[in-house]
C-alpha cells in the first residue's frame, strides 16, 4: 500500500470515530433533557398535589397590642424598725414571715444601763425634794426676821444695818427656794428622758404587716450613738407595687392610666390587672441601654405575690374584645394601583374601574381606586399613605396604630361546596398574628390563611403555627 492510501484510510477511520462520538453525546444530551423534563413535570405535579390550602374559621375573639417589659414586685409600703438606744439585742420575739399587729412586742435590748439611769434620776429628785423643805423653812425664818426688823425700825429700836441684813436674807432665801424648785423640774425632765430610753429597750411594731427581713441576731451589740441600726423590716404585702423597666424605644407608647397586666414565673397563666400610675422621668442606664421605670400597684389580698418576684409586664396599647377575627395571613393589603387592577379584573372590565356595586369605605365615590396609570390614581396613592389600624383600647385612648377608620383588604372565602370567592373586607385592629374584621365576613365562614406543608415533619409544622386564641385551622382544635 502506498503512502497516500495509508493516509486516506487513517483519515476515514478518524472521521468515523468522531461521528460515533457525536452521536453518543447527542444521545446523552437527549436523555438528560428528557429526564429533566420528566423531573420538572413530576415535581410540579407533586407540589400541586401538596399545596393544600390552610383554612381558618372566622370566629369571635379578642385582639390586643402590647408593650412588653420586665418588672420586679416590691411591697407598696414598708417600715424599717431600728433601735434608738445602744445595748445588746437580748431577745427577738418574731421570725421572718410572721404577721404582726401594731403595738406588738418585737424585740428587747439589755436595759440594765437605762434602768440604772432611771433609778439615779429618781434618787436625785428625792434628795432635792428633801432640800426643798429646808429651803422653805429658811425662807419662813428670813421672812419673820425681816418683819421684826421692819417693826423695830419703825420704833427706832434697831439699827439700819440690822434692818438691811434682814431684808437681804429674805431675798436670798426666796431665790434659793426658786432655784431648787427649778432644779427639781430639770431633774424630773431628765427622769422622763431616762424612762423613755428605758422604754426604747423594748421595741414594738409601729404598724401592722409582715416581717420580711431580720438584719440583727440575738446577742448583737447595737450602737445607736451615730445612727439607728435597723433590726427588721415590716412590709404591707396586701398591696404590691410593680417596678417595670421600659426601654427607650417603647416608653413613648406608655402613659399613666393605661391598662397593664403581668404574669409571674410561678403563676402559670394567671394574670394580674392594673393601670399605670407613674413613669419616672429619670432613667437608669445599664450597658448603654436606657430604661425608664413604670410604676403601678396591684391587690394581693390572697398573698400569692411575694417581694422580689420577677414579672413579665404587658402594657396594653390597643385592644378589641368580642370581635370577628381571622389570621393576619388570610388578608391581602394592597396599594391603590394594585387594588384598582384587581377590582377591574374582578369586574371583567379590563381596568376601567371597580366592579359593579363596589362602594369604597365611607361611601365616598371619590375614594374609588382609579385605573392604573391615571393621574387620579397617582394622586390617590400620594394622599393615602400607610393605612392605620383601628384601635379600641381597653380603658380609652388610641394605641400605637392610631384610631383612624378601618382599612380594606382582600380574603379568599372557601364555601362549603369547595368553591372559592375573593371578597373585600374591612379590617379594624390588627396584631402581629390576627386581625379584626369589621365587615365583609360572617362568623363561621372559612378563609384561606396560607398553604399547608405536608412534607415537613409534624413537629416542625406545629412549631411554625402561630397560636391565636379563638382561631381554628381546618375546622380542628384551636391553636
Phi, psi angle pair for 453, to nearest 5°: -120, 85
pLDDT number for residue 255 = 92
- What's the CA gap between 9 and 12, in Å, rounded? 5
pLDDT number for residue 47 = 53
* Cell numbers 411554625: residue: 464
pTM across the whole model: 0.58
- What's the CA gap between 464 and 121, in Å, rounded? 84
- What's the CA gap between 417 and 441, in Å, rounded? 17
pLDDT number for residue 336 = 44
The residues near 330 (Cβ < 8 Å, ≥ 6 apart) are 56, 411, 412, 435, 447, 448, 449, 450
pLDDT number for residue 148 = 86
pLDDT number for residue 469 = 39
Element (H, E) at 449: strand 446-451
DSSP 164-199: HHHHHHHHHHHHHHHHHHHHHHHHHHHHHHHHHHHH
The answer to whether residues 317 and 438 touch, using CB atoms and an 8 Å cutoff, is no
**Residue 438: alpha-carbon gap to chain centroid:** 31
- Strand locations in 356-419 (E): 407-414
pLDDT number for residue 386 = 36
pLDDT number for residue 328 = 87
Sites in the chain below the pLDDT cut of 70: 1-20, 22, 28, 31, 37-51, 334-405, 452-479
DSSP 186-243: HHHHHHHHHHHHHHTTEEE-SS-EEEEEE---TTPEE--SSSPPEEEEEEEEEEEEEE
For 30-58, the pLDDT digits (tens) are 767 777 766 665 665 555 445 578 888 99
- Strand locations in 28-157 (E): 53-57, 59-82, 87-92, 99-100, 105-109
For 200-242, the pLDDT digits (tens) are 999 999 998 899 889 888 888 888 877 788 899 999 899 999 9
The total of other beta-carbon atoms located within 10 Å of residue 231's CB is: 22
pLDDT number for residue 18 = 67
- What's the CA gap between 452 and 458, in Å, rounded? 11
Element (H, E) at 423: strand 420-430
3-state secondary structure at position 63: strand
pLDDT number for residue 334 = 67
DSSP 279-334: E-SS-EEETTEEEEEEEEEEE-TT----TT-EEEEEEEEEEEEEEEEEEGGG-B--
pLDDT number for residue 391 = 38
pLDDT number for residue 228 = 82
CA atoms within 13 A on the CB side of 262: 29
The residues near 389 (Cβ < 8 Å, ≥ 6 apart) are 65, 318, 399, 400, 401, 402, 404, 407, 428, 429, 430
pLDDT number for residue 454 = 57
3-state secondary structure at position 382: helix
Amino acid at each position: 500500500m502506498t503512502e497516500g492510501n495509508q493516509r486516506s484510510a487513517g483519515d476515514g477511520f478518524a472521521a468515523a470515530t468522531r461521528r460515533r462520538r457525536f452521536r453518543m453525546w447527542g444521545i446523552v444530551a437527549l436523555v438528560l433533557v428528557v429526564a429533566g423534563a420528566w423531573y420538572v413535570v413530576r415535581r410540579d405535579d407533586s407540589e400541586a398535589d401538596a399545596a393544600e390550602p390552610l383554612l381558618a374559621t372566622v370566629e369571635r375573639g379578642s385582639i390586643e397590642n402590647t408593650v412588653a417589659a420586665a418588672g420586679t414586685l416590691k411591697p407598696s409600703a414598708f417600715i424599717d424598725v431600728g433601735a434608738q438606744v445602744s445595748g445588746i439585742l437580748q431577745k427577738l420575739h418574731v421570725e421572718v414571715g410572721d404577721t404582726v399587729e401594731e403595738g406588738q412586742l418585737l424585740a428587747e435590748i439589755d436595759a440594765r444601763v437605762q434602768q440604772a439611769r432611771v433609778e439615779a434620776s429618781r434618787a436625785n429628785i428625792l434628795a432635792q425634794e428633801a432640800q426643798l423643805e429646808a429651803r422653805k423653812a429658811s425662807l419662813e425664818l428670813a421672812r419673820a426676821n425681816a418683819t421684826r426688823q421692819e417693826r423695830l425700825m419703825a420704833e427706832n429700836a434697831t439699827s439700819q444695818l440690822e434692818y438691811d441684813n434682814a431684808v437681804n436674807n429674805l431675798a436670798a432665801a426666796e431665790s434659793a427656794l426658786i432655784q431648787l424648785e427649778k432644779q427639781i423640774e430639770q431633774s424630773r425632765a431628765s427622769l422622763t428622758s431616762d424612762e423613755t430610753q428605758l422604754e426604747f429597750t423594748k421595741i414594738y411594731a409601729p404598724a401592722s404587716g409582715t416581717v420580711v427581713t431580720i438584719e440583727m441576731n440575738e446577742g448583737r451589740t447595737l450602737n445607736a450613738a451615730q445612727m439607728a441600726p435597723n433590726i427588721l423590716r415590716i412590709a404591707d404585702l396586701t398591696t404590691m407595687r410593680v417596678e417595670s423597666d421600659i426601654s427607650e424605644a417603647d416608653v413613648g407608647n406608655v402613659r399613666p392610666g393605661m391598662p397593664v397586666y403581668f404574669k409571674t414565673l410561678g403563676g402559670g397563666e394567671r394574670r394580674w390587672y392594673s393601670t399605670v400610675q407613674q413613669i419616672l422621668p429619670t432613667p437608669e442606664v445599664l450597658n448603654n441601654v436606657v430604661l425608664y421605670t413604670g410604676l403601678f400597684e396591684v391587690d394581693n389580698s390572697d398573698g400569692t405575690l411575694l417581694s422580689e418576684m420577677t414579672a413579665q409586664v404587658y402594657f396594653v396599647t390597643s385592644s378589641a374584645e368580642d370581635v370577628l377575627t381571622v389570621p393576619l395571613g388570610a388578608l391581602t393589603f394592597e396599594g391603590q394601583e394594585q387594588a384598582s387592577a384587581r377590582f377591574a379584573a374582578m369586574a371583567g372590565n379590563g381596568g376601567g374601574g371597580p366592579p359593579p356595586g363596589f362602594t369604597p369605605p365611607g361611601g365616598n365615590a371619590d375614594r374609588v381606586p382609579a385605573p392604573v396609570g391615571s393621574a387620579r390614581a397617582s394622586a390617590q396613592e400620594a394622599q393615602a399613605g400607610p393605612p392605620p389600624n383601628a384601635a379600641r383600647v381597653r380603658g380609652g385612648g388610641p394605641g400605637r396604630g392610631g384610631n383612624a377608620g378601618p382599612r380594606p383588604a382582600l380574603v379568599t372565602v372557601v364555601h362549603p361546596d369547595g368553591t372559592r370567592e375573593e371578597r373585600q373586607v374591612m379590617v379594624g385592629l390588627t396584631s402581629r398574628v390576627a386581625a379584626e374584621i369589621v365587615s365583609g365576613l360572617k362568623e363561621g365562614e372559612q378563609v384561606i390563611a396560607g398553604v399547608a406543608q405536608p412534607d415537613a415533619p409534624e413537629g416542625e409544622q406545629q412549631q411554625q403555627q402561630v397560636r391565636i386564641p379563638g382561631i381554628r385551622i381546618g375546622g380542628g382544635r384551636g391553636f
